A and B are shown apart, each in its own frame.
Chain A
Amino acid sequence: MNNTIKLRVKRSATDDFDEFTIPVQKWTTVLECILHAKHQFDHSIAVRYSCRQATCGSCGMKINGKPSLACFTKVSEIDSDTITVEPMSNFPIIRDLAVKFDRLFENHRKVMPYMDNTPPESSRMHIQSPAELDKFIQFANCIKCGLCNSACPTMATDTSFTGPQALAQAYRYVADSRDKDKDKRLRIIDDSHGIWRCHFAGSCSQVCPKGVDPAMGIQLLRGYMLGLSD
């Protein structure tokens, strides 16, 4: 690999790309490249990030066309000396690489991502077996980065779609043995812009950086609603 790469950053003011030559090492991440460009060449580049370790979900963007976390994508993983970064699709752009998450959070809130925590009458606490935990823990890994919504082909044409992020979270609670609000939640997603809009293209799962596999959650949820799975 060369010791420099060409970084192309999509700028919202000009609707064009600015190019920077960035020195890199094996472990350099795309986020570090962007920050290098920001610190050394052009401090007006807008980029959102926080944890730098794939935990906060703020640095999602399209890297060479594919929705990815900038902090979780190493330059050495990309088979190219040119790295093009653009804001995620299907989200309104605030500036440059920073996009608005209002609708993602709104949809997330809409599916009631919380539990009625009243313990069962017979006991003072909820008892859950490891097998019951396994049914939903994968979906609880979601960091709300929005990459799935950016990759989703339904989202590409219908921004009123609830989206893979929120639908997978609906399943996270429906699959939880402690949950008492299944029916309420199912009524919310049983909508023409809700779960039935998913065509199982699977792109959400291809880009999810946390192994949530939203496509699996959505199909299992639909199976549950159709009475095919428990």
Chain B
Amino acid sequence: MSEQTGNAHVTAVGFSVFYGAQEAVKAVDLGIPSGEVTAIIGPSGCGKSTFLRAVNRMNDLIPGCRAAGKLMFDGEDVYGGNIDVAMLRRRVGMVFQKPNPFPKSIYDNVAYGPRLHGVTKRAALDEIVEASLHGAALWDEVKDRLAKNALGLSGGQAQRLCLARALAVKPEILLMDEPTSALDPKSTARIEELIVNLRGQYTIAIVTHNMQQAARVSDKTAFFYEGVLVEFAPTSDLFTHPKEKRTEDYITGRFG
């Protein structure tokens, strides 16, 4: 899908998010390219999660949180009046910082989304579940215990299950908010491997505190600082020749 590369899948234009009076994301202009992996880095509290959660309107859950400016997803205004939020969220998959499988069986976890969207036939569900678990490289580990409760999985397995659950609704874009921060190095490596494999099939935006991780998996990197998008460039450029002083300070570990 490299021909899609370059078109922005998600476009922010002068986009801001407020928590009450506090502006957590400040007039950001950013285009997340289609089919590529975009890393979002920055010190704690700089608004990375807030920006990411704006794309599928998860911020709606927070009382007093509102957005200004424009945020476009595939040509649609995310905060526009006539958007179907449930539909938007279906098209925008999300993997959270902490693995959060439902207290249901492994099968039911993956089948949750498809069932939600009207797939009821057992055979069709079976197929989707297997494909999604393959996609998340979890199939071989769980194929014999699909009926077991998902809370019995290890942290890394649970996170891959969450990925499979997100993949099962066939999203167009995957948002990942520090998906490996709660995992051990081995599980982290597996997730990173997955991200690389999924590259091209999905547009991926990943928030991370781990600079090496950003360097390893992403095509482009965005550096946020105090709510402002400071720099957005191809990953190799940003890490080798940062244009901004603040970016350089951050990636060389002088703060953050």
A-B interaction = no
A residues whose Cβ falls under 8 Å from a Cβ of B: none
| B interface residues (Cβ-Cβ under 8 A, vs A) | none
